[in-house]
């Protein structure tokens, strides 16, 4: 029933005018039962909720669906609202005059009238629907009126007109107050479109956009209908004149006067169809209703298909010169040609949706309204619809249509090979071309700097390895072929116990070594199983090699060169500020230990055979360097160190000890700060082993962490792992490269990495993409 302020009164569905025309007038009729249409002749369809939607027909099957659909799933898990009461029983009702002022009549039908009303209590305008006075004594119509009021009131949906009150009057009349909808029916809306197209021509308008508007209106109707079906209610009289469009494009389903409860297969025998079940408007009746078979929600879907037909073609789906001819055409499936009234093109997908919705066999139709609306939404989004699945060729065409920009880029890239500079000029005009070039340049420059820093580190580790190997070769020679057989007057080696005594002579302060050292001598220590007769014989040639040991330490920094003129300056700076090599170590199989420079910080009970730097090198069969894992220095205040060890093997292959150098990770951190990329875009620089453990990082003072968490050189060092395992896997596979990661906050992080072959580690830089691009734009 139409409620309007600015439209002329329309004849309602209940009128009995029967003038034959090419398109019979819409009206709700009651079909007589026939012998050929006995109830139950065709098994009724299953309950809608028991018909699962095919995965191909479900809508919104997107990967990123959890956050949105979880809300809907929670709502669907709430307790059901219960069955809708279709009762038409009379009850004591409040008098209309007590609450409302009755205004002018603005519409009427065969059974009811519509008046403007004013709610005195809430000061609002309402629409008053009243049963015609001469029909107030008809008990059957009174039950229909009361049932419509109760059903509509129980359906709480934005697209269903809310009922405010049900009233009587002093003459036993029936009235219901509802929301006053200012607008027009969908039928009038379609007629207005046809008038414009007829007068000005369809080519003067954007019919494609207008069709989307009409389909949006129908989708709102589908949503309301889905809600009603979920309450086990079918409308039974859906048609364009029962769809209202408000002045702000709100949509309402009107006139629930012949709505019925959906009967399901399992209880069809217990509740056979009644005479009132076979009524509706002829052009929108489903074939099973015409055949007097049990109707269910799929009859409403048929009506929606007929309405969709009208919305798409601007003409009715089934016509005839009389009602009986229309019904015969529907029963036989003789639908009007699916062509636009004004010859505008109609997409094949939309035609397939219409044909499936209007299938004569209910089993061939959409089984639930959500399937129908889902196909419409997919059609509007340009996706494949379940009524017409794409073949491989169509999938490719649709993909190209949905990814028009990417398709265009691919075509332009192919064009580049043939047209050269002109194609490149066209490519630069693309929306993101400048950003892409800036991104590539920034990533390339950052990777170049990072790789250069990685190579410098590799060269530094190789240099330290070469220095250790050269030193070991010299020591091997000295231990076997000592050219100075005569002993000196003073020994240049001192026992650790002597150095640790308070006031030990010859010691100078060293900030770097966290104590006092003697740069002119070697510290040594023995264990209970050390051969005392060979201690001096082994230490004497090493002590005469102190100048070479000192040179090794002073030349360990990058680009450091020792000359006679800068020797004292380098010594002072080394013992104050530090060098990559902390000390030179010597360990022998019987437990003899020697270190340069001598210092008072060495522990008295020190067995080199149990330290990390000794066993791997001693067990190595070849005379090559072995790098240890990071560990706590024997002087814990120094922090984390790594050792490069070379075995001292005799010509016959027998082990004769180990020569090693301790390297400060603090100094490596300083070198990281001064190399590679620099700027606000640098989040972190780090050295990582092949297991993903971060050995050195510019954002973490590992030495301080070690001093605060580890008190003993025997403590096991636990390093933090690289958080992104995908980056670690890529580093192991490629050794060199760049990886970009999309962070949860939407920012991009860049990882550049370079393999340090000498120690089988990785130099890695973590950069912020946004700041990186800004840095290189300057």
- The pLDDT tens digits of the residues spanning 373-396 come to 999 999 999 899 999 998 888 888
pLDDT at residue 371, rounded to an integer: 95
CA-to-CA distance for 156 and 286, rounded, in angstroms? Answer: 26
Average confidence score pLDDT of the chain? 82
pLDDT at residue 379, rounded to an integer: 94
Domain boundaries, the chain: 29-63+186-384, 80-183, 441-448+673-777, 454-666
Phi, psi of 41 (to 5 degrees): -60, -35
DSSP structure string for 26-75: P--EEPPP-GGG-TTSSPPPPPGGGSPPPTTT-S---SS-HHHHHHHHHH
Half-sphere exposure of 329 (CA within 13 A, CB side): 20
Better-predicted residue by pLDDT, 305 or 456:
305
Q: What is the pTM of this model?
A: 0.48
pLDDT at 621 over 80: no
pLDDT at residue 325, rounded to an integer: 94
Q: Tokens 């740069």 identify what position?
A: 519
Average pLDDT in the 172-176 region? 90
pLDDT at 533 over 60: yes
Q: What is the band of 43 on the pLDDT scale with cuts at 50, 70, 90?
A: very low
pLDDT at 73 over 70: no
Average pLDDT in the 543-558 region? 88
Asked whether the beta carbons of 145 and 87 are under 8 A apart, the reply is: no
pLDDT at 695 over 90: no
pLDDT at residue 425, rounded to an integer: 72
Asked whether the beta carbons of 480 and 510 are under 8 A apart, the reply is: no
Cα 520 from chain centre: 65
pLDDT at 714 over 90: no
* Distance (Å) of CA 437 to CA 409, 434, 442, 667: 15, 5, 8, 37
DSSP structure string for 695-706: EEETTB-HHHHH
pLDDT at residue 710, rounded to an integer: 57
How many Cβ atoms sit within 10 Å of the Cβ of residue 528?
7
CA-to-CA distance for 234 and 364, rounded, in angstroms? Answer: 19
Q: 504 by DSSP, 3-state: which?
A: coil
CA-to-CA distance for 703 and 464, rounded, in angstroms? Answer: 21
Return the sign of the alpha-carbon dihedral for residues 139, 140, 143, 149. negative
pLDDT at residue 428, rounded to an integer: 67
Phi, psi of 241 (to 5 degrees): -75, -10
Asked whether the beta carbons of 306 and 299 are under 8 A apart, the reply is: no
Q: What is the band of 726 on the pLDDT scale with cuts at 50, 70, 90?
A: confident
From the options 3.40.50.1700, 2.120.10.30, 1.10.510.10, 1.10.10.10, give the CATH code of 29-63+186-384.
1.10.510.10
From the options 3.40.50.150, 3.30.200.20, 3.50.50.60, 3.30.230.10, give the CATH code of 80-183.
3.30.200.20
Q: What is the band of 503 on the pLDDT scale with cuts at 50, 70, 90?
A: confident
Tell me if 441-448+673-777 shares its fold with 454-666. yes
pLDDT at residue 705, rounded to an integer: 55
Q: What is the band of 711 on the pLDDT scale with cuts at 50, 70, 90?
A: low
- CA angle at residue 200 from 195 to 204, to 5 degrees? 115
pLDDT at residue 133, rounded to an integer: 84
Average pLDDT in the 452-461 region? 88
- Class of residue 592 by CB neighbours under 10 A (exposed 0-12, middle 13-18, buried 19+): buried
Give pLDDT tens digits for 181-217: 999 999 999 999 999 999 999 999 999 999 999 999 9
pLDDT at residue 20, rounded to an integer: 35
Q: Which architecture, in CATH terms, is 441-448+673-777?
A: 2-Layer Sandwich (3.30)
Give pLDDT tens digits for 84-100: 777 767 778 889 888 99
Asked whether the beta carbons of 660 and 585 are under 8 A apart, the reply is: yes
Nearest Cα residue to 184 out of 132, 117, 251: 251
Give pLDDT tens digits for 643-693: 899 988 877 777 788 999 998 887 777 777 788 888 889 988 888 888 888
Q: What is the largest CA-CA distance in the chain?
A: 142
Better-predicted residue by pLDDT, 268 or 463:
463
pLDDT at 584 over 90: yes
CA-to-CA distance for 160 and 162, rounded, in angstroms? Answer: 6
Q: What is the band of 437 on the pLDDT scale with cuts at 50, 70, 90?
A: confident
Better-predicted residue by pLDDT, 316 or 108:
316
pLDDT at residue 198, rounded to an integer: 94
Percent over 90 (pLDDT), the chain:
32
CA-to-CA distance for 155 and 161, rounded, in angstroms? Answer: 9
pLDDT at residue 58, rounded to an integer: 44
Most confident of the ranges 213-227, 535-549, 702-716: 213-227
CATH 3.40.50.720 fits 454-666, yes or no: no
Most confident of the ranges 254-268, 311-325, 495-509, 707-721: 311-325
pLDDT at residue 563, rounded to an integer: 86
E-strand ranges in 672-760 read 682-689, 694-697, 737-742, 748-756
Q: 200 by DSSP, 3-state: which?
A: helix
CA-to-CA distance for 693 and 342, rounded, in angstroms? Answer: 72
């Amino acid at each position: 029933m139409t409620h309007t302020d600015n439209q002329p009164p329309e004849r309602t569905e209940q009128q009995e005018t029967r003038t034959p025309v090419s398109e019979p007038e819409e009206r709700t009729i009651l079909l007589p039962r026939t012998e050929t249409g006995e109830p139950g002749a065709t098994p009724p369809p299953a309950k809608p909720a028991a018909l699962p939607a095919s995965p191909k027909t479900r809508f919104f099957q997107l990967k990123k669906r959890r956050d949105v659909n979880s809300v809907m799933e929670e709502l669907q898990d709430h307790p059901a609202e219960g069955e809708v009461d279709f009762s038409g029983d009379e009850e004591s009702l409040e008098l209309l005059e007590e609450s409302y002022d009755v205004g002018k009549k603005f519409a009427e039908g065969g059974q009811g009238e519509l008046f403007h009303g004013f709610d005195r209590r809430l000061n609002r305008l309402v629409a008053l629907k009243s049963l015609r006075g001469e029909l107030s004594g008809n008990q059957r119509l009174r039950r229909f009126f009361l049932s419509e009021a109760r059903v509509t009131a129980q359906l709480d949906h934005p697209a269903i007109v809310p009922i405010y009150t049900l009233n009587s009057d002093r003459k036993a009349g029936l009235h219901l107050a509802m929301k006053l909808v200012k607008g027009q029916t969908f039928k009038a809306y379609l007629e207005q479109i046809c008038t414009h197209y007829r007068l000005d021509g369809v080519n003067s308008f954007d019919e494609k956009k207008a069709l989307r508007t009409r389909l949006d209106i129908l989708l709102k109707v589908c949503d309301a209908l889905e809600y009603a079906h979920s309450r086990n209610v079918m409308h039974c009289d859906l048609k364009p004149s029962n769809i209202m469009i408000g002045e702000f494009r709100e949509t309402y389903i009107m006139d629930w006067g012949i709505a019925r409860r959906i009967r399901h297969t399992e209880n069809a025998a217990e509740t056979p169809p009644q005479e009132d079940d076979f009524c509706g408007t002829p052009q929108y009746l489903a074939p099973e209703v015409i055949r007097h078979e049990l109707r269910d929600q799929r009859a409403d879907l048929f009506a929606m298909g007929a309405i969709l037909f009208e919305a798409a073609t601007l003409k009715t789906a089934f016509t005839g010169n009389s009602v009986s001819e229309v019904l015969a055409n529907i029963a036989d499936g003789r639908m009007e040609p699916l062509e636009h009234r004004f010859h505008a093109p109609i997409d094949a997908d939309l035609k397939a949706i219409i044909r499936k919705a209007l299938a004569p066999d209910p089993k061939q139709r959409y089984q639930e309204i959500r399937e129908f609306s889902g196909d419409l939404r997919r059609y509007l989004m340009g996706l494949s619809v379940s009524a017409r699945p794409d073949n491989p060729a169509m999938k490719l065409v649709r993909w190209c249509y949905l990814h028009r920009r990417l398709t265009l880029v691919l075509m332009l890239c192919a064009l580049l090979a043939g047209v050269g500079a002109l194609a490149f000029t066209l490519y630069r005009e693309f929306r993101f071309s400048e950003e892409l070039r800036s991104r590539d340049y920034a990533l390339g420059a950052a990777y170049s700097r990072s790789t250069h820093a990685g190579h410098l580190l590799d060269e530094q580790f190789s240099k330290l390895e070469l220095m250790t190997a050269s030193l070991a070769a010299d020591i091997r020679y000295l231990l076997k072929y000592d050219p100075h057989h005569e002993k000196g007057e003073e020994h240049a080696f001192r026992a650790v116990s002597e150095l640790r005594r308070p006031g030990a002579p010859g010691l100078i302060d060293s900030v770097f070594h966290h104590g006092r050292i003697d740069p002119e001598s070697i510290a040594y220590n023995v264990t209970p199983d050390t051969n005392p007769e060979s201690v001096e014989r082994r230490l004497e040639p090493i002590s005469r090699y102190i100048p070479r040991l000192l040179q090794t330490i002073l030349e360990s920094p990058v680009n450091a060169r020792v000359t006679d003129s800068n020797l004292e300056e380098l010594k002072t700076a080394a013992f104050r500020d530090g060098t990559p090599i902390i000390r030179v170590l010597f360990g022998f199989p019987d437990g003899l230990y020697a270190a340069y420079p001598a210092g008072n910080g060495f522990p008295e009970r020190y067995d080199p055979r149990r330290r990390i730097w000794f066993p791997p090198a001693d067990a190595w069969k070849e005379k090559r360097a072995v790098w240890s894992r990071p560990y706590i220095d024997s002087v814990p205040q120094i922090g984390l160190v790594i050792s490069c060890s070379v075995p001292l093997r005799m010509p016959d292959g027998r082990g004769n000890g180990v020569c090693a150098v301790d390297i400060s990770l603090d100094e490596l951190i300083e070198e990281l700060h001064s190399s590679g990329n620099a700027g606000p875009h640098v989040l972190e620089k780090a050295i990582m082993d092949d297991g993903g453990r971060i050995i050195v990082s510019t954002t973490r003072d590992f030495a301080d962490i070690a001093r605060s968490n580890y008190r003993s050189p025997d403590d096991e060092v636990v390093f933090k792992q690289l958080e992104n395992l995908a980056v670690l896997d890529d580093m192991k596979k490629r050794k060199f490269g760049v990886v970009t990661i999309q962070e949860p906050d939407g920012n991009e992080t860049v990882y550049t990495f370079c393999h340090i072959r000498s120690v089988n580690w990785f130099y890695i830089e973590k950069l912020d993409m946004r700041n990186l691009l800004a840095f290189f734009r300057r």
